[in-house]
Amino acid sequence: MCQIIAINRGEIEITSPEEFNKYFGFLPIKEEGYNEMTLDCCLCQCDLNKTFKDKKIKYWFDKIDTYFVGELDKLDKS
Ligand SMILES: [Zn+2]
């Protein structure tokens, strides 16, 4: 399963570096082991943990495949 980013509980879903760039205004950090990033491919090539920490963006990972950004206080984190 590919990793995705859900903004505000899924109001917007980001599935590629290109979409990431459009939303956040910068490209995510490349995952080690990938030579280059293909912008219209999936986010598995990106180290999203590192990217969000680097940019001090609050997120919550559901430990499956989704990184939630935005309205984290309204999430059901059970
Ligand atoms: Zn993938």
Q: How many angstroms does the Cα of residue 4 sit away from the middle of ligand 1?
A: 9
What pLDDT does 10 receive?
A: 92
Structure tokens at 65: 């495949």
Residuewise pLDDT in 10s, the chain (78 residues): 799 999 999 999 999 999 999 999 999 999 999 999 999 999 999 999 999 999 999 999 999 999 999 999 988 887
Query: Could you tell me if 59 and 24 are in contact, meaning their C-beta atoms sit under 8 angstroms apart?
Result: no
Query: Could you tell me if 59 and 71 are in contact, meaning their C-beta atoms sit under 8 angstroms apart?
Result: no
Q: Give me the torsion for CA of 66, 72, 74, 76, rounded to 10°.
A: 40
Q: How many angstroms does the Cα of residue 15 sit away from the middle of ligand 1?
A: 9
What pLDDT does 77 receive?
A: 82
Query: Could you tell me if 39 and 56 are in contact, meaning their C-beta atoms sit under 8 angstroms apart?
Result: no
Q: How many angstroms does the Cα of residue 3 sit away from the middle of ligand 1?
A: 6
pTM (predicted TM-score): 0.92
